[in-house]
Structure 1
Amino acid sequence: MNTKTSSQPNQAEGGSDAHRRLNRSDAKTLSLSALGGALEFYDFVIFVYFANVVGSLFFPADMPEWLRQVQTYGIFAAGYLARPLGGVIMAHFGDILGRKRMFMMSILLMAVPTLAIGLMPTYETIGIAAPLLLLFFRVLQGAAIGGEAPGAWVFVTEHVSKRHVGFACGVLSSGLVAGILIGSLVATFMHSIYSAAEIHSYAWRYPFILGGLFGFITMYLRRWLQETPVFKEMESRKELAQELPIKSVVKKHIPSVLVSMAVTWVLTAAVVVTILMTPALLQKLIHLDPQTSLEANSLAIICVIIGCWVCGALADRFGNGPILAIFSIGLGVSYWMFYSTMLHDTTLLFPMYALVGFFVGLTGVVPAIAVKSFPAAIRFSGLSFSYNLAYAIFGGTTPLVVSTLLREDPLAPAYYVAFVCGVGVLASLAVMGFRRRLDLVAHPV
């Protein structure tokens, strides 16, 4: 890799306008990127909200219920396992051909299979081809989401000034989380206007068809985005990566990879356990009404969005490491108090879950840490490789680990979150300790 790659003066790399204010162009880039991320994450997570219905329609009727559930969630997990490969491939071309092209490609790769799931025939019509097609489309979705989040983070941070990288990542992360909120609200709305029989018969298709249409709308909106100044500068100076970007990442930037994977592990625990799994856990363990659990979950997600903005803004002011440490401790303590209390008293369900959601806002600072860990020429590949590998390992296995531990102790989810938040504190110390070294890697003088 050319060692001069990251030295050019520009917004993201600390040049002459590194401390300028956010302008109208930045606001446009942030808003369109966040909106696109929200709609793409909606496409990815809507599957889990209708997993039981999908399982009953795409597998044999005489299959044991436990096996059907395992198969259904196995297909859901396949989306996570496909993330590293899809992310690395798109990141490779993003570092070679441009950020915007892959930003558009990830949307197309998500919209088409989501729409296809909503239109495809079930097991009753085409037999074993139904679950196989479902698996294929889910893998395509995973490949798309593997390129979307890292690509979006790189795209926006290379547009804004260095002083606003944390805030930009926070805003974009809040957009991704908003996609989960949209999925939750759509699921709640569907269950409120359709009976269980109607959803099973035909209405389950509507959220997937809607997601496909969302994707094509997003593709149209992203046409108005411009390639990042960082990439255009590297391209004009012929300073793009001279070898395979992923090869350079593995050979020269393992410490950055490890730090990025550690903070991504914290992100997965925060999102998968506290936001995606907790409503179902409360329904199963204390028989909480599904409607109530979804309403509380929606409030928590709104607080996650607020937390992302706050966390990102504070990181710009006080540094990524200290803010990650504070939010990690806050999440570990608040979720422990919330979960242990809910097992015997749900009186404070809404305010306590809202507090947990706010501290899940630590997801706003995670991408800022990872983005700053790699030089511009391989930034997309470095971030994508670290983030998606960690998400495949931890995001895909977390539900299995937590479910297994639940057999031994009903407090297992709280134990798991507390442990991973401890990892977050250690990672924050590493970020603070190696801050100067990481800055020199990403922004050499």
Structure 2
Amino acid sequence: MASLIGTTIEWYDFFLYGTMAALVFSQLFFTDLDAATGTIASFATFAAGFLARPIGGIAFGYFGDRVGRKTSLIASLSLMGVSTFLIGILPSYNTIGALAPVLLSILRMLQGFALGGEWAGAAALATEHADERKRGFYGGWVQLGSTAGGVLSTATVLVLTTVLDKQSFLTWGWRTPFLFSAILVIVGMFIRLKVEETPVFQQMQQEGRSRRIPLAAVLQRQWKTVLLIIGMHLGNTTIAFLTSVFLLSYGTQQIGMESNVVLMAKFISGLLLMTLVSMPVAALGDRIGRRPVYLAGTIGLMVTAFPTFWLFDTGSFPLALLAITLISLANVLMYQTQGAFFTEIFDPEVRCTGAALGVQIATVIGGGTAPIIATSMLALSGGHSWSIACYLIVIGLISTACTLLVKESRPLSSRQRHEVAAESVSSR
């Protein structure tokens, strides 16, 4: 629960920024630009948070591997809470001029820095407390935090845009969700402070197995694994930020849909997948292996790329809901296995650093640039969405190839151990 709630809060803050970047930031912080350029500039500040994520992953990964998983998580949650609250009270361009977008970018980078250290520590905390036969299931709770954070941020904005008129929302309403996060952070901090350090880390400390510079150890011994994780995570992070950020802008500006319609489709899709699909997928990784489930997701990304936009381009709410659900299902198949998959691959002494490094570099390449690339490709293709579908298929091919190259991380069952031992005796 400590991993789930803390991760939910951090992703609520992170996704909230993306939603506001699509809806209002171009009008508040880039008023001297035309609509299209302002949207790209707004998405550029969104991408700035991703540039800081690998640095945050290295910094908090160091503390997670050297000082403890719990200490790292408390620090990352505190930083995320402060930076998000400050966004909520930040003056607009009309008040302080060019300083406004500069400060917005700085706060966004602090958000990215904090989130960069959150995931790996939370995944290690959950899986290292779990029975090895159920690491996939318990690691799935960490992954569920991302979906829950997205659903919570979407629901909050949906309520505000429904209750308030456009001018009130633009004037002051958009600030409310950022200020509300302070309450969530206090609750998450209270829970995390009561959690014990993981048995794996305690044993590692007792045996003196910690690495003085975890990053150096990762780059020396497991750099190939880091590269594979980067490629694997590209598919997941690209889908996540296309659906959470780009489709909102695309639906309202290109298709002519109301923002509430797109938000409602995102909310219902996220809620359905979170409650009905996410945890069974995580448990499936314990039964048949992490890699087969992950491959189903990477292939699903390629299969659903064109149908997603064919359905969404109709402007129909039911078909838009189906479109978001289809491609998000592929995302769930990848994402729900990562909690166990990406942590098990690395040695305990460098687990937080290695997992964070691979995932966060992928988010810079894939997630942070996805809204900008999609917006630019849409403009270059004359407004035709097939260009974005082709982009998704290329990303899917990369993730599929890397998944095929990585080794299965699920521990062998007792029957499999017996078979391996029998084969060893037979060969001798």
Same fold (TM over 0.5): yes
SS at match of 2:385: coil
1:279-290 equivalence runs, <5 A: 279-290=248-259
Return the match for 1:216 from 173, 186, 208. 186
Distance 1:217 1:436 in 2: 34
Could you tell me how far 1:170 is from its partner in structure 2? 1.8
Aligned to 2:418: none
Aligned to 1:95: 65
2:143, 2:338 within 8 Å by CA — same for their partners in 1?
A: no
Distance 2:247 2:172 in 1: 28
Return the match for 1:266 from 235, 252, 256. 235
Greater fraction helix: 2
1:76-91 equivalence runs, <5 A: 76-91=46-61
- Backbone CA RMSD of aligned residues: 2.2
Distance 2:293 2:410 in 1: 19
Aligned to 1:175: 145
Could you tell me how far 1:289 is from its partner in structure 2? 2.8
Q: Does 1:107 align with 2:81?
A: no
Could you tell me how far 1:136 is from its partner in structure 2? 1.8
Could you tell me how far 1:345 is from its partner in structure 2? 7.1
Q: Does 1:435 align with 2:408?
A: yes
1:248-327 equivalence runs, <5 A: 248-305=217-274, 306-327=276-297
Q: Does 1:332 align with 2:307?
A: no
Higher mean alpha-carbon deviation, 403-412 vs 111-120, is at 403-412
SS at match of 1:308: helix
Distance 1:159 1:227 in 2: 9
Aligned to 1:247: 216
1:300, 1:355 within 8 Å by CA — same for their partners in 2?
A: no
CA deviations on 1:409-428 (whole Å, 9 max, x unpaired) are 42122222223222333233
Count of paired positions? 405
Task: Rate the CA distance shift 1:284–1:199 in 2: closer, same or farther, 3 A.
Answer: closer
1:307, 1:359 within 8 Å by CA — same for their partners in 2?
A: no
Q: Does 1:378 align with 2:350?
A: yes
1:407-426 equivalence runs, <5 A: 407-408=380-381, 409-426=384-401
Task: Rate the CA distance shift 1:121–1:425 in 2: closer, same or farther, 3 A.
Answer: closer
CA deviations on 1:208-254 (whole Å, 9 max, x unpaired) are 1011221122111211111111111111111111x310001111111
Could you tell me how far 1:437 is from its partner in structure 2? 12
Q: Does 1:138 align with 2:105?
A: no
**Percent of aligned pairs with the same amino acid:** 28
1:55, 1:69 within 8 Å by CA — same for their partners in 2?
A: yes
Could you tell me how far 1:140 is from its partner in structure 2? 0.9
1:324, 1:424 within 8 Å by CA — same for their partners in 2?
A: no
1:170, 1:365 within 8 Å by CA — same for their partners in 2?
A: yes
Higher mean alpha-carbon deviation, 186-195 vs 400-409, is at 400-409
Q: Does 1:394 align with 2:373?
A: no
**Which consecutive unaligned segments of at least 5 residues does structure 2 have?**
413-428
Distance 1:82 1:367 in 2: 21
Could you tell me how far 1:380 is from its partner in structure 2? 0.6
Q: Does 1:353 align with 2:328?
A: no
Task: Rate the CA distance shift 1:123–1:270 in 2: closer, same or farther, 3 A.
Answer: closer
Aligned to 1:12: none
Aligned to 2:421: none
Task: Rate the CA distance shift 1:138–1:274 in 2: closer, same or farther, 3 A.
Answer: closer
Could you tell me how far 1:83 is from its partner in structure 2? 0.5
Aligned to 1:403: 375
1:99, 1:227 within 8 Å by CA — same for their partners in 2?
A: yes
Could you tell me how far 1:360 is from its partner in structure 2? 1.9
Distance 1:49 1:78 in 2: 15
Task: Rate the CA distance shift 1:253–1:326 in 2: closer, same or farther, 3 A.
Answer: same
**Which consecutive unaligned segments of at least 5 residues does structure 1 have?**
1-30, 440-445
2:123, 2:343 within 8 Å by CA — same for their partners in 1?
A: yes
Distance 2:52 2:409 in 1: 34
1:75, 1:138 within 8 Å by CA — same for their partners in 2?
A: yes
TM-score of the pair, normalised by structure 1? 0.85
2:15, 2:244 within 8 Å by CA — same for their partners in 1?
A: no
Aligned to 1:33: 3
Could you tell me how far 1:106 is from its partner in structure 2? 0.5
Aligned to 1:75: 45
